[in-house]
Structure 1
Amino acid sequence: MTATVRYDDVEAGTEIGERTFPVRRVDLVRYAGASGDFNPIHWNDRTAKAVGLPGVIAHGMFTMAEAARLVTDWAGDPGAVVEYGTRFSAPVVVPDDDTGAEITVSGVVKEKREDNLVLVALTVRSAGTRVLARPTLLVRLA
């Protein structure tokens, strides 16, 4: 976790960096256990392909959580996120190999608001494709 970012130290246009998160099948199994979402499209290639997917895909909420890590680490506090909104635009396909997939996340402060709130916009990609559409987080900074 990084040091806490202060509200007075950011402006609209402040870049919060970029980070790449690896995603392997074992991560999906762990997430399924934690979330209770054992849908076989998240662990079984035959099932995923039978419903028209290219293969096993990461859980949407797992993808959202990984993307939010960039912001919570930047803010220095997971509890700083007040709102989070996005749409799913493409799946994160996770091959059954030692490499898996990657989710690359970058962000920028789009707007400073009253009450120490900032609106952060993210770009979230996997295999060169945007996997979340218009993800934004409202964050309360110190």
Structure 2
Amino acid sequence: MTAAPATAIEVGTVVAEREVHVTRDSLVRYAGASGDFNPIHYRDDVAASVGLPGVLAHGMLTMGLAVQPVSEWLGDSGWVAGYGVRFTRPVVVDPEQGATIGIVAKVGTVDDDGRPKRIDLTVTAGGQTVLGKAQVTVAFR
């Protein structure tokens, strides 16, 4: 991961990459922290009964994990001023293997001084994009 820029940076530059492994234990901890105890996030039978391919990671957990590398890249030099995504596919969390979420953050636009204005995220699990139009607006001190 590179440090947030003090000078100009080009559109398309990768500023952060990460893989995050999520387990069923991760889902239980997130449910406790968020208060989202929907059983599709921890019970295979309930997930199957509503037509899902398995237990799913919480969408907001996936969204939060995806922006974390950008926040760390910014450090003390800036902040996340805005963030939006479209949930395109669920993250299925296998009871034994879990799931790995891949995150690549690239500069999407720059301001007149050449500093990043928008960071575009590519977020995948199981070889498929799970968040679409994942964009982070950043600001600098």
Pair in the same fold by TM > 0.5: yes
Equivalent in the alignment of 1:45: 44
Residue 121 and residue 3 in structure 1: after superposition, are their counterparts in 2 closer, same or farther (change >3 A)?
A: closer
Question: Residue 109 of structure 1 aligns with which residue?
Answer: 107
Q: Is the Cα contact below 8 Å between 2:16 and 2:70 reproduced in 1?
A: no
Q: Deviations over 1:80-120 (max 9, x none)?
A: 111101100000000111x3100001011011126966100
- Asked if the contact 2:107–2:116 (Cα under 8 Å) also holds between the matched residues in 1, the reply is no
* Inter-partner Cα distance in structure 2 for 1:17 and 1:33: 29
Give TM-score scaled by structure 1 length.
0.89
Residue aligned with 2:18, SS: strand
What are the equivalent positions in structure 2 for 1:53-72 lying under 5 Å apart? 53-72=52-71
Q: Distance in 2 between matches of 1:136 and 1:10?
A: 17
Q: What CA distance in whole angstroms lies between the structure 1 residues aligned with 2:9 and 2:64?
A: 23
Instruction: Count residues with an aligned counterpart.
Output: 140
What letter corresponds to residue 120 of structure 2 in structure 1? A
Matched, 1:126 2:125: yes
CA distance in 2, matches of 1:138, 1:114: 15
Matched with 2:83 is 84
Unaligned 5+ residue runs, structure 2? none
Rate the CA distance shift 1:39–1:26 in 2: closer, same or farther, 3 A. same
Q: What root-mean-square deviation, in Å, do the aligned CA atoms of Structure 1 and Structure 2 show? A: 2.1
Alignment partners' CA distance in 1, 2:22 and 2:63: 13
1:141 aligns with 140
1:31 equivalent in alignment to 2:30: yes
Shift of 1:16: 1.2
Partner of 1:74: 73
SS in structure 2 of the partner of residue 58 of structure 1: coil
Percent of residue pairs bearing the same amino acid type: 45
Deviations 1:11-64 (A, max 9, x none): 322211321000000100010011000000000000001001001000000000
Contact kept? 1:25, 1:94, Cα under 8 Å: yes
